[in-house]
Amino acid sequence: MAGPVAPDSVASAVGITKAFGPGLPALDSVGITIRPGKVTGLVGPDGAGKTTLIRILAGLMSADAGTVTILGGAPSERLDDIGYMPQRFGLYEDLTVRENLTLYAQLRGLPGEEHEAVFGRLYQFTDLGRFQDRLSGKLSGGMKQKLGLACALVRTPRVLLLDEPGVGVDPISRRELWAMVGELTEQGIGVLWSTAYLDEAELCDDVYLLSEGKQVFTGPPADLTRRVDGRVIRVTGFADRRRMALTEALDRSDVIDGTIQGRAVRLLIGPGVPIPDAEALGMGSDTLIEPAHPRFEDGFIERLGGGPKGTSALATSYREIPPNDEPAIEAQGLTKHFGDFVAAGDIRFTVPRGEIFGLLGPNGAGKSTTFKMLCGLLTPSEGTGSVAGHDLRHAAASARASLGYMAQKFSLYGDLSVAQNLDFFAGAYNLPRARARQAIERMVEIFDLGDRLSVNAGTLPLGFKQRLALACAVMHEPPVLFLDEPTSGVDPVMRREFWMHINGLVQKGVTVLVTTHFMDEAEYCDRVTLIYRAEQIATGTPDALKAQAGALGQIEDPTMEDAFIALIEEQDRRHTQGEAA
Amino acid sequence: MQRIWAMIVKEMWAVLRDPKARLVLVAPPLIQLFIFAYATTLDVKHVDIGLLDRSSGAHSSELVSRIAGSPYFRHIVPFENFGQLRKAIDLQKVHAALVIDEDFDARLARGEPATLGLVLDGRRSNASQIVNGYVSRIAGEMGLELLPPRMQAAAGGSTVTNWFNPTLSYFWFTLPSLVALITSVSGLAVTSQSVARERELGTFDQLMVSPLRVHEILIGKMVPPLIIGMLNGSIYLIVAPVFFGVPFTGSVLLFFPALFMYMLTVIGIGMFISALSQTQQQAFLGMFLAAVPLIILSGYATPIDNMPGWLQIVTYADPARYFIVIVQGLFLKAMPASVVFSQLWPLFVIACITLSAAAWLFRARME
């Protein structure tokens, strides 16, 4: 895989292999070259080996095989030229912004008299000057990453290694971070940006795509997307049945991948087959097919051999949720105070049976607070809510019994086996013995857990953890599902599989509430509400929000992320005007 | 009921699934029992004593050889002058020094009372008092024998019988208390981790969105430490008589209800700590914060009667205080049921308080 070391590299690694214990190695003969003045993307789902490779490059870990060269020497000889921003634990949360910078300056041996000049430059660069005296633990996700970046820059490095700087960062801060990195590359610094978000890969100059420790693609991102050029289509004209349409399309042999995008369905057609026409797809006479812009993710999916088929075995065996005129989820003026601080104010929405509703917003804006109030983890200060007809205040336990919950972080019992986890959740949801046994058998079959029943859940690969989490959440066939950023960090094929199940369940009448700042998860929603500074600033279908943003920012064909940013910036503008008036 | 059962099974697995964890639950308490039993010796043995014998007569030699023959003394270090004696005490080479005056033999020979000097190291006050007792007893016996037989009878004296612990073996005293202390430390350790671990690992929210009620969660979390505590208590019940020869004279039917009630008080404390803690580390430190006063105020190491008045009142809140009375009574003096109950009801009250406080705090800190 790894070619000869390019002459203009600031860092390179050849044939890196690293194993932790028996089993598949974390890295299997991986090579990488970081060029000066370029952003090199290290892309792959969680557990692909990104952090291991970065730690090896930074000299924090030694490889079992292979060589690392940083500016012509070993990493340990070039520490002064390496800037490294770890994924977590990089900052001391009990120290202020200034104290963190001072500490890093001292650790990196920056002479005391240079501190002020360097800090001044960094404050300006990161726009953190106003927050010098704030504890870094109290910063938002985006500001933490900026501070982390500043700490890595106290001595201007020639190689900058950034381990998932985009994690936990809302789209606006993410854009700012990219702009900052852009400035750094102009100075000739070679930047390595690792990420699990495939859309970030498109912004890199070179991409190294990892999957389970193996290098699956190397080169400029356009090289990967070029392979699927002309094979991506956008199908519209069947708004109300788009989930069914996607399921049917995916079951066709010529379609290798598909996602929902607002009211449309986006399909990737297999190589060497003609693009099917509206009649072939059989989606009705109004169907409109137009070519779509290929994305890096399409290329990755194709590399991985395509996404899953459309029919969900889970949904097929799921009970039909009886139709009901009452809303499945209702929020009426939900408000939560923590002391003087309003975490969520007057949140109102209703979700009818069989819809997906999305809560969007930057971190700390109030979407998690709203979510937690609705699933009974927080008691609202004001307002009421109900889930499946059960009032949250007066029938909290019945409300809890009728929802299934799946969190972003793996929240099952890692030191219990897969079977014990399933047993526990079957019992916790009061399934009678015989039904519990049936339900567990069904989950094991659907999610292919048979070989892993006695394995500790904590040691499962990420994809299987996610399957198990979904299995535990739906075993009792709840009418309502609560999903908290369910697919963050998961590889795109697993993400497709997850949404295939959710799509199927929704067709059976299950109602879904999902929080996310992942824009492609937002696209699956029937309606979304954007929460910013504890307020609902926009509610509607993804397409309506995109249209609204398009009008606001005069953007043509805006993405969900563009809409997110435009709507929040508009709110900020109104906020400042309000203050000025 | 089914939910509670699921919760108990899950908690048992959480504690027992790992073979290492299983070992940790039973082996260290047993090892502790053996180490503590031998380490917390209250006997003073193998004493080195100095001797400044200025008399050097038959009687003084007799006294010295009696001391040398006693099992409590190891070496007798002779000194030539007072300066050597002072130095040896100062450097803690000897615990005490016996000073025999020049006229010791002469006075005894004349039938007059003679005096002995004993220099003790006040820095080691407890041991010194005991050494003083040993030397006084030996000297007293010798003095008595020197009297004419007629006067020996008139001199009277006392006969000491130690009830409940005839040989004054310290095992008999420490082992029953250790049963109480070690079961409480292991009970506290297991319970205090239970909620904190879920918080730290992120499973707490998942638990809270399930239809499990608070009391079901709490009961589920209390059962495993209760079972482990009862199991450890039963092991000690066998080990103490078999390995240490401490008799269990009371009724097993009283021991287990008392142990059960005591475990409930301890689990209440542990659960309170766990509900308060955000991380396992905090829970661990909190456990130490609770365990130390629990042990110190129980009267295990120092008699409660010797504590200042206000602290004696505080000890009434210490469940270990009552349980130690019960276990010592059941082991050594066949404590009757009525006396056991007089110690059991305060335990019941404390259990109600600690468990309700834990439940209240758990509810209050759910968000």
ipTM: 0.78
* B209 → closest Cβ in A377, A409, A414: A377
> Which residues of chain A does B5 touch, with a Cβ-Cβ cutoff of 8 Å?
427
Pair A275, A245: CB distance under 8 Å: no
Q: Higher pLDDT residue, A511 or B174?
A: A511
Taking the C-alpha atoms of residue A348 and residue B283, their distance in angstroms, rounded to an integer, is 39
Per-domain residue ranges for chain B? Answer: 47-155, 167-366
Q: Does A375 touch chain B (CB under 8 A)?
A: yes
At the fourth CATH level, which superfamily is domain B47-155?
abc type-2 transporter like domain (3.40.1710.10)
Residues with Cβ within 8 Å of A436's Cβ and at least 6 positions away in sequence, in order, are A423, A426, A427
pLDDT at B168: 66
pLDDT at A193: 94
Taking an 8 Å Cβ-Cβ cutoff, which residues of chain B contact chain A? 2-3, 5-7, 9-10, 13-14, 17-18, 201-203, 205-213, 366-367
* B203 → closest Cβ in A401, A403, A412: A412
pLDDT at A2: 39
pLDDT at B113: 81
pLDDT at A212: 85
Q: Which two tokens stand for residue A193?
A: 């940006």
pLDDT at B154: 59
pLDDT category of residue B152 using cuts at 50, 70 and 90: low
Percent of chain B with pLDDT over 70: 95
Q: Where are the alpha helices (DSSP H) in chain B?
A: 2-16, 19-39, 58-69, 82-90, 104-109, 125-146, 149-155, 170-201, 204-209, 214-244, 252-276, 280-296, 309-315, 319-332, 337-364
pLDDT at A553: 77
Give the chain B residue nearest A423 (alpha carbons): B6
> Which residues of chain A does B6 touch, with a Cβ-Cβ cutoff of 8 Å?
423-424, 426-428
What is the enclosing helix (H) or strand (E) of A256?
Answer: strand A255-261
Best of B1, B10, B278 to mutate (most A CBs within 10 Å, chain A): B10
pLDDT at A112: 87
Give the chain B residue nearest A395 (alpha carbons): B211
pLDDT category of residue B41 using cuts at 50, 70 and 90: low
* Exposure letters A487-501 (e unless 16+ CB within 10 A, then b): bbbbbbbbbbbbbbb
Give the chain B residue nearest A455 (alpha carbons): B17
Give the chain B residue nearest A375 (alpha carbons): B209
CA distance A137 to chain B (A): 16
**Interchain contact, B17 vs A416, CB within 8 Å:** yes
Q: Which of B12-21, B32-41, B145-154, B178-187 has the highest mean pLDDT?
A: B178-187
pLDDT at B155: 56
CA distance B351 to chain A (A): 27
> Which residues of chain B does A429 touch, with a Cβ-Cβ cutoff of 8 Å?
210-211
Length of chain B in terms of residues written: 367
Per-window interface: A 457-496 vs B, CB < 8 A? 482
> Which residues of chain A does B10 touch, with a Cβ-Cβ cutoff of 8 Å?
413, 416, 420, 423-424, 427
For every one of its 581 residues, what pLDDT tens digit does chain A have, with 9 covering 90 and above?
333 444 588 999 999 999 988 778 889 999 999 999 999 999 988 888 899 999 999 989 899 999 999 988 888 888 888 989 988 767 888 899 999 999 999 988 888 888 898 899 888 888 888 888 888 888 877 788 889 888 888 888 999 999 988 877 778 888 888 988 998 899 999 999 998 888 888 899 999 999 888 998 999 999 999 988 889 998 888 767 888 888 888 888 888 999 888 888 899 998 888 888 777 777 777 788 889 889 898 998 888 888 888 888 899 899 998 888 889 999 999 999 988 888 898 999 999 999 999 998 877 788 888 998 998 888 899 999 999 989 888 888 888 889 999 987 778 898 899 999 999 999 999 899 899 999 999 999 999 998 889 999 988 888 888 899 999 999 999 999 999 888 877 778 888 899 999 999 999 999 999 988 777 788 899 999 999 888 999 999 998 998 988 888 777 778 888 888 888 888 888 888 877 76
**Interchain contact, A428 vs B5, CB within 8 Å:** no
Q: In what order do the strands lie in the sheet with A255-261?
A: A255-261, A264-269, A232-236, A288-291
Pair B267, B194: CB distance under 8 Å: no
> Which residues of chain B does A375 touch, with a Cβ-Cβ cutoff of 8 Å?
209
Mean model confidence pLDDT for chain B: 86
Best of B2, B9, B16, B204 to mutate (most A CBs within 10 Å, chain A): B2
Best of A400, A422, A440, A475 to mutate (most B CBs within 10 Å, chain B): A400
Give the chain A residue nearest B202 (alpha carbons): A411
CA distance B201 to chain A (A): 7
Taking the C-alpha atoms of residue A138 and residue A50, their distance in angstroms, rounded to an integer, is 28
- DSSP result, B140-182: HHHHHHHS-HHHHHHH-------SSSTT--HHHHHHHHHHHHH
Q: In what order do the strands lie in the sheet with A527-532?
A: A403-406, A480-484, A511-516, A356-360, A527-532, A535-540
pLDDT at A64: 92
**Interchain contact, B209 vs A397, CB within 8 Å:** no
Which sign, positive or negative, has the C-alpha torsion A381, A383, A386, A392?
A: positive
> Which residues of chain A does B210 touch, with a Cβ-Cβ cutoff of 8 Å?
400, 405, 425, 428-429
> Which residues of chain A does B14 touch, with a Cβ-Cβ cutoff of 8 Å?
413, 415-416
Give the chain B residue nearest A371 (alpha carbons): B209
Q: Where are the alpha helices (DSSP H) in A220-366?
A: 221-226, 242-251, 278-281, 296-303, 313-317
> Which residues of chain B does A344 touch, with a Cβ-Cβ cutoff of 8 Å?
none
Segment B273-279 shows an average pLDDT of 91
Give the chain B residue nearest A413 (alpha carbons): B203
Number of cross-chain residue pairs from A and B with Cβ atoms under 8 Å apart:
81
CA distance B16 to chain A (A): 10
Q: Does A424 touch chain B (CB under 8 A)?
A: yes
CA distance A325 to chain B (A): 25
pLDDT at A581: 63
Q: Does A541 touch chain B (CB under 8 A)?
A: no
Q: Using the predicted structure, report yes or no on whether residue B6 has a pLDDT greater than 60.
A: yes
**Interchain contact, A377 vs B205, CB within 8 Å:** yes
* B210 → closest Cβ in A372, A420, A429: A429
Of the listed ranges A254-268, B11-25, B340-354, the least confidently predicted one is: B11-25
The rounded Cα B193 to chain-centroid distance in angstroms is: 26
> Which residues of chain B does A413 touch, with a Cβ-Cβ cutoff of 8 Å?
10, 14, 203
Q: Does A407 touch chain B (CB under 8 A)?
A: yes
**Interchain contact, A398 vs B211, CB within 8 Å:** yes
Give the chain B residue nearest A369 (alpha carbons): B367
**Interchain contact, B7 vs A413, CB within 8 Å:** no
CA distance B253 to chain A (A): 35
The count of other CB atoms within 10 Å of the CB of residue B22 is 12
Pair A96, A50: CB distance under 8 Å: no
What is the enclosing helix (H) or strand (E) of B118?
Answer: strand B116-120
- DSSP result, A7-67: TT-SEEEEEEEE--SSSS-SEEEEEEEE-TTSEEEEE--TTSSHHHHHHHHTTSS--SEEE
CA distance A421 to chain B (A): 8
pLDDT at B349: 96
**Interchain contact, A430 vs B3, CB within 8 Å:** yes
Pair A359, A525: CB distance under 8 Å: no
Give the chain B residue nearest A431 (alpha carbons): B2
**Interchain contact, B6 vs A415, CB within 8 Å:** no
* 3-class state of residue A564 by DSSP: helix
Report DSSP state, residue A417: B
Residues β-bridged to residue A341: A338
pLDDT category of residue B151 using cuts at 50, 70 and 90: low
* A428 → closest Cβ in B6, B18, B367: B6
> Which residues of chain A does B202 touch, with a Cβ-Cβ cutoff of 8 Å?
407, 409-411
> Which residues of chain A does B2 touch, with a Cβ-Cβ cutoff of 8 Å?
427, 430, 432
CA-nearest of B140, B67, B70, B126 to B97 is B67
Pair A479, A322: CB distance under 8 Å: no
Helix axes B125-146, B58-69, angle to 10 degrees: 130
